[in-house]
Structure formats: structure tokens, C-alpha cells
Chains A and B, each alone.
Chain A
Amino acid sequence: MSINRDKFGALLFLCLALIYGYYVRDIPLLFGDEDAPFNARTLPNAVAWVLGVVSFAQLVLPANREAGSLLAAFRGMKWKPVIMLAALMIFYGLTIRYLGFLISTTIFLMGGFAVLGERRIKVLLGAAVPVVFVFWFLLSQLMGIYLAPGDIFEMLG
């Protein structure tokens, strides 16, 4: 049996409301705040309850058939390039400080173009390098934003 897309969403949010509501009690209260009409836990508590009720209502109300099944919603998608782009973004986050803005951004853009099917090296370089240099010039020279050259260059002396 395939679960209805809307029901699956409601189930996810019900779980979220329960987890969020559970962690509300971890919020520390200042001395005397326990009896205050409003403290740091009041709104989170209210939101957890309301979200719980709304998502529960969505779960028990009759299914919207137009929503279709969960599998249908995720089927036929091009997941591979998206996952590769996500990996490339994480790589960009990991390397921007070490390799510096110029190198890491050039690698990120060229990698992105390649993931999406562009294989001509002239296009890869021609589209990435000028944009990166123009952007770097705008940021560092015109707008005065300091962009560190990258830890690797400092290590190399």
C-alpha cells in the first residue's frame, strides 16, 4: 500500500511537533520565571500543540485523492545531478577557506557546468574564469570586501 502524499507530509509534521514539544522542556528558565505569565517556553509550547493538532487533523481528515501517492511524487526525477550539485556545494563550503575564493569558486562553477552536461573545456574555462575574476574585482577592489587568499597560500609561505 502506498501512502498518500498529503498524509505522509502530515505524519512528518506530527513527528516534528512531538520532537519539538519534547525538547521544549530543555529550555532553561530563569529564577521565578516558572510562574510568570509568559516565559521562554510559552510560545514553543503553544506552537508544538497547535502544529500537533493541525497535522493530526490532516492525518485523520479524508485523503485528498488529487495529491496522489508518495512514490508518484518522487518518481521520475533526475536525482543524480542534484545530489552531485549538493556534494559540490558542500565541497565549496569545505574548500573556500583553504583554497581561497578564486580557486574554490572556479572549481565549483566548472564542476557545476560539467555535472549538468557541459564537457567542452573552452566553455568550462571561458564561462567560469572571467566571471570569478570580475566578481572578485567587484568585491575586493570596488566594494572593499576583504577576501582572504586561502590558508593553503599562507602555509606555502
Chain B
Amino acid sequence: MLEGIFSGLTTAIMPINLLMVVVGCFAGTFIGMLPGLGPITAIALMIPITYGFDPSTGLILMAGVYYGAIFGGSTSSILINAPGVAGTVATAFDGYPMAQQGKAGKALAIAAYSSFSGGTIAAIFLLVAAPALASVSLSFQSADYFALMVLGLTAVSAFAGKGQVLKAITMTLFGIMLSTIGTDPAAGVARFTFGSMDLVDGISFLLLAMSTFALSEALLQILRPTKDTRTDEQKALKNLGSMKLSREEVKTMTPVIARSSVLGFFTGVLPGAGATIASFLAYGLERNLASAKEKLQFGKGSIRGLTAPETANNAACSGSFVPLLTLGIPGSGTTAVMMGALISYGVQPGPRLFVEQPDVFWSVIISMYIGNIVLLVLNLPLIPYISRLLALPQQLLVPFVLFFSLIGVYLVTFNTMDIHLMVLAAAIAIGLRLLNYPMAPMLLGFILGEMMEENLRRALMISDGSISFLWERPITLIILLISIAFLLAPLVGNTRQWLRNRKAVPNDGEM
């Protein structure tokens, strides 16, 4: 293990990799501050740039973008109450009131120190947990992998939010459907290609990620114009106030950081949960633990209320790398995009990665420390300068995002058909977004669909066509039972809610 850490450290501190951490954090912060563009778009836009690099450098850049985007989202949340990403919604609860009290600089500093601490503590957990889990998972069989993938897909649906469970399941299935287009890897027969040579290799992951996130999010900015908050953000940055924290404030933050890091990391490890749920859980936990007097401060600029979600969302980001690096199963839309990129570099994430390419495995973990330092030391003092980039008017910004998305996909295949397919996929994605369907489960279904089919096929072959493999090994059975519990919990909750509503108000049978 020490050898691996040393090899990872050597890779991570190579000048090109250090440069990529810095570039990633800056680019991520900028994109995260833009209204409407989230970390998935930020990472997807980086994928074509990373093709020329080796896998470690590519993944290090993407991890930097991920942190940067979350940090950029926090900045918008604190300054103007407009979270750039869902994971920073809870940050606005107390961050924005603090900024309104003229303590914007202090709020940004608390957010940065909390993010740094959360990210660093979680990276230490990752350092311990990932190799342990990777060694255990080396004994996993096809049946266990199939069960784990089912768990990943059901968890994403279960955590989708109130009223969104069935829609998330639908989108996951839609993603699996899309993954079946092309040549069946085992039998070598064409499926759903309708005679088109362009579909024989299936739909490219990059094309799907770019069109359903980058393209559709940029077009939605035009289609559904929201208030352009960038001018407000720049105004707010002119009156930041002091960024210094008193000893008393640091004392208040320390236990909150310790609690929220642990909570955030473990929530991030859970497939489907991620930074958003972690930040809300941490906020809720702190409010419950607070004394009656402190509770009154929540929502009015409480230091504890700002520290908790900021620590937890960064810790969850690190936590979400555990299933990706050790099991090869992405637990969120963001890590699904990273996994797609890794596969396109020719690297298969999973337990073998730890054994076969320890430099990739460890350099990513080591780069997380460096990324957190970059965010604290460089990004925080440079926030007012980064925000100047926001002055770019929207009529110039959107065509640039469209161009980078299109050319990123085109440069991989040099097939103009891909550009047309992207327009079609973006149109479908916009329609589905307007119908309130979440996009991340589709990406996850698409990535896991092929792997799930392969493992199910192998498990059935080994058990001679019997489905007894589902309960023969205790680990398979336990994972499947957890999946069923994940799936049933929201359905049971919804049914109870519906029965309660039915008693209260009779249904008018609206269609």
C-alpha cells in the first residue's frame, strides 16, 4: 500500500498534473458560478480536452473540476442566494443571510475552510476505505456484481426526491434501453440498428452526456430565461468585507466539521445519495443538536448552519469516488460521467484498477488533497477575479458552450452524423426536462446497462440457466434485499401519503 501511495504521490506532483488540478479547480469554479450549468456539464465539457492526456491526468483534471464546480456553486449561493448546483442549496440557508448582514467575505471564508476540511478528512477516509473495499471486492463474482449494479440503479431512483421515484426508474430503464442499441457484445448480432452503419457501434457515451447535459442545459438557458444573476453576483463581490475568522468562530466550526465530514463521506459512498442529500442531512443534524437559543440562529446566518452543509457536500464528493474506484460502479451522475471517460481512455474502473494501475488509483486520491489546498489557497482569494469572467454576456456564452460541446464529440470520430445525433438527443432531453424527468439516472442506466447484461449473462451461464444465483451467496442476497428495500421505501411512503390525502380530499379524477 505504501508503495502505491508513493507511486500516486509521484504521479500527482508531476508538473502537468499539478497544473491540471489548478486548471480544473478554476474552470470548475467558473462553470459552477454560472447559473444553470452544473458539475456534470463542467466535467462533460472537459472530457474531449483530456483525450490527449494519460488516464491519471485526465481523472485528476475532472476531479478538480468537480470540486471547483461545487465551490463555485457555494459562492453563488452565499452571495446572491442562487445556488449553481443542487448540492449547495443548503449553503444558501445561512450563507445568504450572512452576506446580507455585510459578512459575505466571512461567509465565503467559512465555506472555503469547511470545504477544505470536509474534503481533506474524507480523502483520508478514502485512503483507508478504498483499498480495503477493493481487496474485499476482488472476491466478488458475476452474481454479486449484477446485484451491486441493481443496487446502484435502484438507489439512484430511491433518492430521486418526492414524486420523482417512478420518473427516475423510467429514466434508468430508458438509459438501459439506449445501451442495448448497437452490436451485442456476446453474440455479435446487431440490435435496434435498423440497418444504419452509424448505430452499429452503439451510441457514444460522450455524445449522450454532452447532448443531454451541456447542450440541453445551455439551450434551456435561452428557452426558459431565468433572471440573469451575474451582475448581482459581481456587485456583491465588490463589498465582501473581511475574510478573517475569530478564534471563537473557529471553535464553533471544529466539532461541526468533524461530524459533518463523517456524515458526508458515508452518505457520498451510498450509491445515489451524493452531495445534495449529504448537505441537507448535515444541516438537519446540526439544527437538531443545537441548543434552543442556537436553533433560533439557523436561517439567520448561523455559522454552524453554513459549516455543516459545506463540509458535508465536499466530503460526499470524495465519498462518491469509493464505489467508482473500488467496485467500478458509479453512484451518481457525476461519477457516471467520469466512469464513461475512464472507459474511453481504456481504463476499467473496479477492484482490478487498484492492482493493475495503482498509479491511477492513488494519484486521484492524492490529487484530492492538492485540489482542496488549491481551492483554499488560490480560489478563495481569487474569487473576485474569477467572477470577472462572468461579465461575458449570455449571447456570447451560450454559442461558445454549444460549440465546445459539438466540437468535443466531433473531434473523437470526425463523423458529422454525430453532430446531427447530438441535436436530436438534445431536443429529446429538453422535452424530457420540461416534463420534469431527471437526466442523471439515464446516464447511470446507460453506463451500467451493458455491464449489468454481461454479468447477468455470466451468472446465468454459471448457474446453468437457474436464477438460484440470486440467493445462493449471502452477499448477493443481502445486496438484492437492500435494493428491494431502497425501491420499496419511497413507494410505501408515497402510498401512505396518498391514502392520507385520499381520506382528507376526495380525488377529482384529473387526467
Chain A contact residues, CB within 8 Å of chain B? 1, 3-10, 12-13, 16, 20, 23, 27-30, 33, 36-40, 42-44, 47, 50-51, 54-55, 57-58, 61-67, 73-74, 77-79, 81-82, 85-86, 89-90, 92-94, 96-97, 105, 108-109, 112-113, 116-118, 123, 127, 131, 135, 139, 143, 145
Contacts and interface: CB of A to CB of B under 8 A. Distances in A.
Interface string B149-193: 000000000000001001101100110110010001011011110
A44 B191 contact: yes
Given A5-B435, A92-B406, A79 B223 contact: yes
A108 B416 CA distance: 15
Given A39-B187, A55-B170, A9 B461 contact: no
B441 to A, nearest CB: 12
Nearest to A101: B407
Given A58-B170, A82-B223, A118 B416 contact: no
B407 A105 contact: yes
Contacts of A116: 222, 394-395, 398-399
A109 B407 contact: no
A28 B435 contact: no
B510 A65 contact: yes
Count class of interface residues, chain B: 35 or more
B189 A30 contact: yes
B54 interface: no
Contact of A28 (B163, B177, B190, B427): B190
A9 B222 contact: no
A58 B180 contact: no
Contacts of B283: none
Contact of B225 (A58, A74, A78): A78
B222 A78 contact: yes
Given A109-B403, A116-B398, A20 B177 contact: yes
B400 A109 contact: yes
A92 B461 contact: no
A37 B460 contact: yes
Given A43-B180, A44-B180, 16 more contacts: A4-B511, A9-B170, A13-B170, A39-B187, A43-B176, A43-B449, A44-B192, A47-B176, A51-B174, A54-B166, A54-B173, A62-B502, A82-B222, A85-B222, A85-B399, A113-B396
28 contacts: A3-B511, A10-B166, A10-B170, A16-B174, A20-B177, A27-B191, A37-B460, A38-B460, A40-B184, A43-B176, A43-B449, A43-B453, A44-B180, A47-B177, A61-B166, A61-B498, A62-B507, A63-B511, A64-B163, A74-B434, A78-B225, A82-B219, A85-B219, A86-B427, A89-B402, A96-B419, A116-B395, A131-B400
Contacts of B393: 118
A1 B461 CA distance: 52
B419 A117 contact: no
Contacts of A139: 411
Nearest to A51: B173
A58 B173 CA distance: 14
B510 A47 contact: no
Interface in B48-66: 52
Contact of A93 (B173, B186, B416, B456): B416
Contacts of B466: 37
Contacts of A12: 435
B180 A96 contact: no
B288 interface: no
A131 to B, nearest CB: 7
Nearest to A76: B224
Contacts of A86: 219, 423, 426-427
A92 B488 CA distance: 47
A40 B189 CA distance: 8
Contact of B456 (A3, A43, A55, A118): A43
Nearest to B422: A89
